A and B are shown apart, each in its own frame.
Chain A
Amino acid sequence: MLELIVPLLNATVQSGTPILYATLGEMMTEKGGVLNLGVEGIMSFSALAAFVTTFTTGSATLGFLAGGCAGLFLAFIHGFVCISCLGNQVVSGLALTILGLGLTRFLGTPYIGLPCEGFEKAAFPILSSIPVMGDILFKQDALVYVSYVVPVLFWFFFKRTSLGMAMESVGEYPAAAAAAGLKPILLRYSAVLGGGFLIGLGGAYLSLAYTHLWTNGLSGGRGWIAVALVIFAFWRPGRAVVGAYLFGGVMAFQLRLQASGTNIPSSILLALPYALTIIALVFSACRRKHSDMPAALGTNIEPEG
């Protein structure tokens, strides 16, 4: 039994990781009060940026950071439109998705089929020798190890640092934040840019660790799942981790169920990850009184006068 479950959970972590990065990125953006529907486009574009950087410089770490910076760049466009120009956040986000996917196809065509080094699976020293848990959690690639730390930092940032709390306040009630002497515009920009960077890391994971070659369509709808997960996770990083791994886990599980020769129709199995993730998160939400949804989410800060 163990020899079936361990590879399953190992695969779970891998397929959950890009979604986890993107979900946390979107969560950060939304905590600052800005809705970013461009996640799919940002992931796709940053996957390309990460790949091209690694391909030309040979450094996977540089590629990973380039993915983040590409996400930051696209998020800046969104920030400029919504925060500085008071544009509609939904429209700008959707346009960003189209722009990101389009740019990726346009710029990525010459690289199709080329391989790159990227990140290989490497056992984490010491921790990987823990039985079972070590095999599941610590025989992954470096980007997965990074992703273990990110949710903790995320939680710490918003709950324990003044910058994080200030950022959250502009997502709740920007006028009050301004009255308290904070700079709402600047804070919203930092939430959008920081979120874009995280989403970009998720994109970079796809082209550097998930697959090691460039092809179009790498994001494959994962960005939209991240947008949905933020809502079902009630803007809490802990629940985002559960949601991302649940989705990845059920996806890995249903593929293995098919591979072991079941008679359950594949259409039902393929719908399972989506259905179960939503059901589980909604079900657990029923027991809670409130979500952490930012009160000012989706609204712009209108200048006075």
Chain B
Amino acid sequence: MKQFTRFFIAALACTAMLMSLFACGEAPKKADEKAEKNAAEKKEDAKKFKAGFVYVSPVGDAGYSYAHDMGRQAVQDLGWVETSFVESVAEGADSERVIRNMARKGFDVIFTTSFGYMDPTLKVAEEFPNVKFMHCSGFKKSANMDNYFGRMYQARYLTGLVAGAMTKSNIIGYVAAFPIPEVIRGINAFTLGVREANPKAEVRVVWTKTWYDPALEKDAAISLLDVGADIIAQHQDSPGPQEAAQERGVYSIGYNSDMASFAPKAHLTAAIWNWGSLYVETVKEVRDGTWKGDQAIWWGMDKGIVDLAPYGDMVPEDVRKMVDAKKAEIKSGKDIVFAGPIKNQKGEVAIPEGQSASDEQLLGMTWFVEGVVGTTE
């Protein structure tokens, strides 16, 4: 009996582990299966170009990885690239194994799309000097590894203009993930937009310290609505805050991708990623041999990597016109978002008139602009 018991538990544990691995997306996806077959028939089909993608979360969540996967599909649509992806890859040791696996299978270029993949990517890049690596949102680079990101703050600023023009209570709620420069920069850009459209409005921030906890993030949004906010914006991957806004009959601003389907009556617009533009360009460069390593790529709206989702029906024509005019200005290459004079929360001038925040200042931003209610700690 005892032996049977031990065996049974071991079997159950193994099944559970396997299930979780399976569910973590380790099982190759359709595209991946094709790629595997391809690897087997390498000799016959040596010239097929292959691009691999590593995601931190499942692709179906309308959030961060979903946006990256739209970019992958844009690459796939080119016709001459074989793409595959692995989703829900934990940052750290797990990711190193996944990335190395891809490199070994003969991928030409590998996109690793989460901050925590930075060191694993660098390590594998050293082992496979002929494979090109693209790491998203980090700061390390090498001879065959670039890092890349987009100037999401430009889109955030535009959504801020919409929110500022639409608020009636002059309080806008912002559900935010972690107080890191990327998120703080977004809140600041959003607030600058809000205040430009409506100098009396303020932006209230609630931190959840989660990227993805739909129930908690919805609760956070409700707490903002309870203190009088009538528009909810978010830097979060779950649609929880959108749902809260819809239920209370107020407006919301989405992030990552068009979140209108989650809250059709609330969704004003969203600051969205459009990674396809960069991914298509990159695979072309790699194919043509013009790709350069050791680069830090930070594209803006002028190259289409960030954008606004279509406006909801409730956004009036004059607001659309005003925002579209600003959008055109940014698209023409002018970076007007962090142009001085900009005051911090204490009312001191942080960026003087005539100057604009440098990339270094933007990447290390740890202070809030005037108009934000909340703390960066």
Question: Which A positions have Cβ atoms within 8 angstroms of B?
Answer: 4, 7-8, 11, 15, 77, 81, 85-88, 91-92, 95-96, 98-99, 101-106, 109-110, 112-113, 115, 206, 210-213, 215-218, 220, 251-252, 255-256, 258-267, 270, 303
**A280 to B22, alpha carbons, bound, how many Å?**
41
B58 touches A109 (CB 8 A): yes
B8 touches A113 (CB 8 A): no
Contact of B4 among A85, A109, A217 (CB under 8 A): A85
A220 pairs with B216, CB closer than 8 A: yes
Per-residue contact bits, chain B 352-377, to A (CB 8 Å; 1 contact, 0 not):
00000000000000000000011101
Q: Is B243 an interface residue (CB 8 A)?
A: yes
Whether A255 contacts B243 by the Cβ 8 Å rule is no
> Min CB distance, A56 to chain B, in Å?
18
> Which A residues touch B209, using CB under 8 A?
266-267, 270
Query: Complex: how many Å from CA A102 to CA B17?
Result: 8
Q: Does B231 contact A (CB under 8 A)?
A: no
B contact residues around A210 at 8 Å (CB): 215, 218
Whole-angstrom distance between the alpha carbons of A198 and B283 in the complex?
Answer: 53
Query: Is A264 in contact with B204, judged by CB distance below 8 angstroms?
Result: no
- Complex Cα distance, B222 from A211, in Å, reads 12
For B6, what are the chain A residues with a Cβ–Cβ distance below 8 Å?
A: 87
Other-chain residue from A4, A91, A99, A215 in contact with B15 (beta carbon distance below 8 A): A99
* Shortest Cβ distance from residue B307 to the other chain A in the assembled complex, whole angstroms: 20
B206 touches A258 (CB 8 A): yes
Q: Which of B194-222 contact A (CB under 8 A)?
A: 204-210, 212-216, 218-220, 222
Known contacts A99-B19, A112-B60, A211 near B208 by CB under 8 Å: no
Contact of B375 with A109 in the complex, beta carbons under 8 Å: no
Q: B238 at interface (Cβ–Cβ under 8 A)?
A: yes
CB <8 Å contact, B223 and A255: yes
Selected A-B contacts with CB under 8 Å, 8 pairs:
A81-B9, A98-B17, A102-B16, A106-B22, A109-B60, A259-B227, A265-B375, A267-B377
Q: Which residues of B contact A (CB under 8 A)?
A: 1-2, 4-6, 8-9, 12-13, 15-17, 19-24, 58, 60-62, 88, 173, 179, 204-210, 212-216, 218-220, 222-224, 226-227, 229, 238-240, 243, 261-262, 373-375, 377
| From A96, A103, A259, A264, contact of B206 by CB (8 A) | A259
Known: A103-B23, A266-B375, A270-B209. A98 touches B218 (CB 8 A): no
The reply to whether B239 and A215 contact each other, CB–CB distance below 8 Å, is: yes
A80 closest partner in B (C-beta): B8
Given contacts A85-B9, A102-B19, A265-B377, contact A258 B216 (CB under 8 A): no
By the criterion CB–CB under 8 Å, are A259 and B4 in contact?
A: no
Q: Report which residue of A96, A218, A258 has the largest number of chain B beta carbons within 10 angstroms of its beta carbon.
A: A258
Neighbouring B residues of A263 by C-beta, 8 Å: 375
Chain A residues whose CB sits within 8 angstroms of the CB of B2 once the complex forms: 86
- Per CB-CB distance, the 5 closest pairs between chain A and chain B, nearest first, are A102-B20, A265-B377, A261-B373, A102-B19, A255-B223
User: Does B9 contact A92, Cβ atoms closer than 8 Å?
Assistant: yes
The answer to whether A215 and B16 touch across the interface, beta carbons within 8 angstroms, is no
Q: How far is the CB of B305 from chain A (nearest CB, A)?
A: 24
Q: How far is the CB of A268 from chain B (nearest CB, A)?
A: 9
Give the CA-CA distance A136 to B275 in the complex, in Å.
46
Beyond A88-B9, A113-B261, is A259–B173 a contact (Cβ under 8 Å)?
Answer: yes
**Provided the pairs A264-B375, A270-B207 are in contact, do residues A11 and B16 lie with their beta carbons within 8 angstroms?**
no
Q: Do A105 and B24 touch (CB < 8 A)?
A: yes
Bound-state CA distance A109–B88 (Å) is 12
Flag if A105 contacts B227 (CB, 8 Å): no
Contact B4 A99 (CB under 8 A): no
B contact residues around A251 at 8 Å (CB): 216, 219
- In the bound complex, residues from chain B placing their C-beta under 8 Å from that of A115 are 262
Q: Which residues of A contact B13 (CB under 8 A)?
A: 91, 95
> In the assembly, what is the distance between CA of A260 and CA of B227, in Å?
6
- Within 8 Å CB of A99, what residues of B? 12, 15-16, 19-20
Q: In the complex the two chains form, is B243's CB within 8 Å of A213's CB?
A: yes
A112:B5 contact, CB within 8 angstroms: no
Kindly list chain B residues whose C-beta atoms are within 8 Å of the C-beta of A252.
219, 223
In the complex, what's the smallest C-beta–C-beta distance from A230 to chain B, in angstroms? 21
In the complex, what residues of A have CB within 8 A of residue B23's CB? 101-106
Chain B proximity of A6: nearest CB distance (Å) = 10
Q: Does the CB pair B17–A213 fall under 8 Å? A: no
Docked CA distance A4–B223 (Å) = 10
Q: Which residue of B lies closest to A98 (CB)?
A: B16
Is B238 within 8 A of A259, CB to CB? no
